[in-house]
Amino acid sequence: MNINDYKRVTDRLTPDERCRKEVLDMSKSENKIKMNTNEYTESVSGVEVRSSHGIMKYVSIAAACALIVGGIGTTGVLLHKGSKNAQQFAEVLEEETTAEAVTEITEEPTEPRVEYDYAAIANELTQHYIDSLNVMKYGDVSYDSSESITFYTYDSTNEEWSNNYGGERTFYKVTDERFKSCQDIYEYYKVPFVSSMPDNFKDAADVEYESSLQSWLGRDVSKFENGSRVDIRPNGKDTCDDEAFSINIGIYVEYNGNLYVSKRTVESETAPYYANGKHSFLISMTSEPQILETDEESFKASCFVKLPYTGMENAKYGEEKLITFNLIDGEWKISSIETGDRPEYTSAVAIQNYIEQRAEYNDINIGYDSEGKAGRGIGHIMDKLEVTEYDPSIHVCKVHVVLHNMNGEDALDMTAEISVNHNGNPVVMSADITRIKDYDSSYERPNAVSSN
């Protein structure tokens, strides 16, 4: 601390008489030194040794004054710590020191916002969701067809039901190392979600974003003997037996500690999403997730998936999934899934309605069989439909399709612009239609004849 610091501090105090006297004496001594030094400078000519002793005396006095000043700033405070002025001096000194220290501290920069690869997160979690659905709904697991169990289901209270919906049920032993039980499949499904689902799959009638869990994950059916007939309503009960019902409709059942997958699911030719005894396809993404909006702890993405049912085999888009993701305890999870546009399906519905309402197209097959029944329905149009352009911002697509008449001949070439907004009704906005095969009333749809 230099003399200027001392003066700056003492100016804020009211010194006592002793301190005032010390300061006054120091000031007088300092002035005297300056005055004598000036005199020495004027008479120094021709005098060396004697005069040198004089100057050293005054230098010593000046040094002593400096020590006294320093003493007042340090030791003097300690000697007079009981006095009010000494306490004031210490407090002011502390304030000055603290203020100077504060001004030297630089403000720490705020932590930058964490940047996430939203597209990669959306892709990973969505793919897991799709994979788990393929496992749970469509039996996408490895299995050994040489190890199987078979039962024959019926309803003792309803013969007609037994004839139409009962019968042989065969299951193959699952060899997929990931899954030893239905609970394992359930746990795999839950991984990407903000889960409010029950811990045990048996307590979950439905799962988030999907329904009919009981139709997929069956019960332990070890109480039934392999090869036996199984009554789904034993003793005429009003409700079905859970285990028997699992055998009749389940994709998976457990038997003697092993997991089995339904033969009807993995090989049946009657299932609409299989062809020639094999999977025609499973759920798959037809587009990478597109990020719609982001926030610090949530974001929303859109992607299109192709679903395994008739008419989707050639789909370019399929069905849009609008997925919301949330950051939960430092980990991203799916919080909701909604269905968006379905360009091919909605276009087929719009075309079916458009053709059906115009008598000049009564010979065109729009999904009915020869008896006027629904037949393959929308799938008949979707098989032939091609989306040539799709604008998601306005929910409009352009399509091209060649339709058959009821005799199975190419009869109509149609290009149309269609509104496919999932929040509205499907509408053909404009259409350009060319006849390939002339109208023939002998090929009219039976439902069109009855309508006329």
Q: Each residue of 164-185: pLDDT tens digit?
A: 999 999 999 999 999 999 999 9
Rg (CA), the chain: 46
Total domains in the chain come to 3
Which tens digits make up the pLDDT trace of 106-131?
Answer: 566 666 677 899 999 999 999 999 99
Please check whether residues 356 and 251 belong to one and the same domain: no
pLDDT of residue 219: 93
Strands of 184-330, DSSP E = 217-220, 229-231, 252-255, 258-262, 274-275, 278-279, 284-285, 290-294, 298-306, 319-328
Distance (Å, whole) CA 213 – CA 194: 18
**CA geometry: angle at 227 spanning 223 and 229, to 5°?**
75
Alpha-carbon torsion, ordered 354, 357, 359, 362, to 10 deg? 70
Average pLDDT over the chain, rounded to whole?
A: 78
Report if residue 295 sits inside a domain.
Answer: no
Enumerate residues 6+ apart whose C-beta is below 8 A from 39. none
Count of beta carbons in the 10 Å neighbourhood of residue 237:
12
- Does residue 381 carry a pLDDT above 60? yes
Per the structure block, which two tokens stand in for 221?
Answer: 């059916």
Report if residue 110 sits inside a domain.
Answer: no
Residue at a domain's end among 231, 256, 279: 279
Enumerate residues 6+ apart whose C-beta is below 8 A from 96. 5, 8, 9
- pLDDT > 70 fraction of the chain, expressed in percent and rounded: 67
Please check whether residues 236 and 378 belong to one and the same domain: no
Please check whether residues 127 and 275 belong to one and the same domain: yes
pLDDT of residue 75: 42
Please check whether residues 96 and 167 belong to one and the same domain: no
Distance (Å, whole) CA 286 – CA 304: 5
Residue at a domain's end among 279, 301, 331: 279
- Does residue 70 carry a pLDDT above 80? no
pLDDT of residue 334: 96
Please check whether residues 30 and 57 belong to one and the same domain: yes
1 vs 158, more confident? 158
Phi-psi region at 379: left, alpha or beta (left = phi > 0; alpha = psi -120 to 50): alpha
Residue 29 DSSP symbol: H
207 forms beta bridges with 210
Residue at a domain's end among 73, 104, 135: 104
Report if residue 330 sits inside a domain.
Answer: no
Distance (Å, whole) CA 388 – CA 329: 44
Cβ burial, residue 6 (10 Å; 0-12/13-18/19+):
middle
Report if residue 207 sits inside a domain.
Answer: yes
Structural domain range at position 369: 343-451
Please check whether residues 256 and 142 belong to one and the same domain: yes
Question: For residue 443, what pLDDT band results from cuts at 50, 70 and 90?
Answer: confident
Please check whether residues 229 and 374 belong to one and the same domain: no
Please check whether residues 129 and 257 belong to one and the same domain: yes
Report if residue 306 sits inside a domain.
Answer: no
| Weakest-pLDDT range from 12-16, 145-149, 444-448 | 12-16
Report if residue 255 sits inside a domain.
Answer: yes
Please check whether residues 132 and 234 belong to one and the same domain: yes
Please check whether residues 231 and 166 belong to one and the same domain: yes
* Distance from chain centroid for Cα 300: 7
- Does residue 421 carry a pLDDT above 90? yes
H or E segment to which residue 85 belongs: helix 84-104
11 vs 191, more confident? 191
Please check whether residues 169 and 213 belong to one and the same domain: yes
pLDDT of residue 10: 52
Per the structure block, which two tokens stand in for 206?
Answer: 């439905």
Please check whether residues 125 and 268 belong to one and the same domain: yes
- Does residue 72 carry a pLDDT above 80? no
| Weakest-pLDDT range from 87-96, 208-217, 254-263 | 87-96
Per the structure block, which two tokens stand in for 300?
Answer: 């929303």
Beta-strand pair 284-285/143-154: unpaired
Q: 54-58, 94-98, 438-442 — which one is most confidently predicted on average?
A: 438-442
Question: For residue 399, what pLDDT band results from cuts at 50, 70 and 90?
Answer: very high
Report if residue 309 sits inside a domain.
Answer: no
Q: Under a CB-based contact definition with an 8 Å cutoff, are residues 26 and 18 in contact? A: no
Helix ranges, 388-435 (H): none
Q: Under a CB-based contact definition with an 8 Å cutoff, are residues 148 and 173 in contact? A: yes
pLDDT of residue 383: 86
